[in-house]
Copies of this chain bind each other. A is one copy, B any other.
């Protein structure tokens, strides 16, 4: 199908959810991840840990060359349902597997997004590095402190230009007596650019 040109994120509520699958990544975080990743129509993109498909759907609006992987079959199923709901299924190759097992089969990559990695983060980054082109990007979204430190250290070791931001968002609940802010959990976005 055709690439949709729109800056609007799908709202959190629109996604089909499954109790045993994390996600979707919140609207504003997806928005920043998209800006940092800067996907163009020809980009070959790999996503490891698609979960509910929150980021998968947004990336699939930008490129038809997306491979999304998750080791949890329920995640693959949920992501598939969401891709179909938003008419984006033709743009994505969905694979149920462990991220690490799949990377060697890939030829070359412009961008990689790591949304989950279990204990394999360092090795996954190292493998991706072998496939990624100059000026390509590895983006990690992290909810664990440990993931933040490990990604930064591994990207520095591989001589990537690295950036880390932490995003704390609260959203107003407009009550009769006033506006109460409800916090979302902090999330870090680590961006490595291959030099």
Counting from the closest, the 8 A-B pairs by CB-CB distance are: A144-B178, A146-B178, A164-B172, A183-B183, A31-B35, A8-B38, A168-B168, A145-B179
- Using known A-B contacts A6-B40, A7-B35, A179-B145, determine if residue A162 contacts B185 with beta carbons closer than 8 Å: no
A169 at interface by CB-CB < 8 Å: yes
Q: Which residue of B lies closest to A62 (CB)?
A: B7
A1 at interface by CB-CB < 8 Å: no
Stretch of A46-54, A89-97, A101-109, A147-155 on the interface side: A147-155
Q: Is the pair B39, A35 in contact by a Cβ cutoff of 8 Å? A: no
A158 at interface by CB-CB < 8 Å: no
A159 at interface by CB-CB < 8 Å: no
User: Can you list 5 residue pairs at the A/B interface with Cβ under 8 Å?
Assistant: A9-B35, A27-B35, A31-B32, A145-B164, A149-B179
The chain A residues found within 8 Å of chain B, CB to CB, are 5-9, 27-28, 31-32, 34-35, 37-40, 62, 118-119, 143-149, 152, 156, 162-172, 174-175, 177-186
Interface majority SS (helix, strand, loop, mixed), chain A: mixed
Query: How distant is the Cα of A164 from the Cα of B146 in the complex, in angstroms?
Result: 13
- Using known A-B contacts A8-B35, A9-B35, A38-B8, determine if residue A143 contacts B181 with beta carbons closer than 8 Å: yes
Query: How distant is the Cα of A179 from the Cα of B7 in the complex, in angstroms?
Result: 32
Query: How distant is the Cα of A165 from the Cα of B167 in the complex, in angstroms?
Result: 12
Residues of B with C-beta under 8 A to A6: 38, 40
Q: Write the nearest CB–CB distance from A56 to chain B, whole angstroms.
A: 16
Query: How distant is the Cα of A164 from the Cα of B148 in the complex, in angstroms?
Result: 16
- Using known A-B contacts A7-B37, A7-B62, A40-B6, determine if residue A179 contacts B166 with beta carbons closer than 8 Å: no
Residues of B with C-beta under 8 A to A166: 169-172, 181, 186
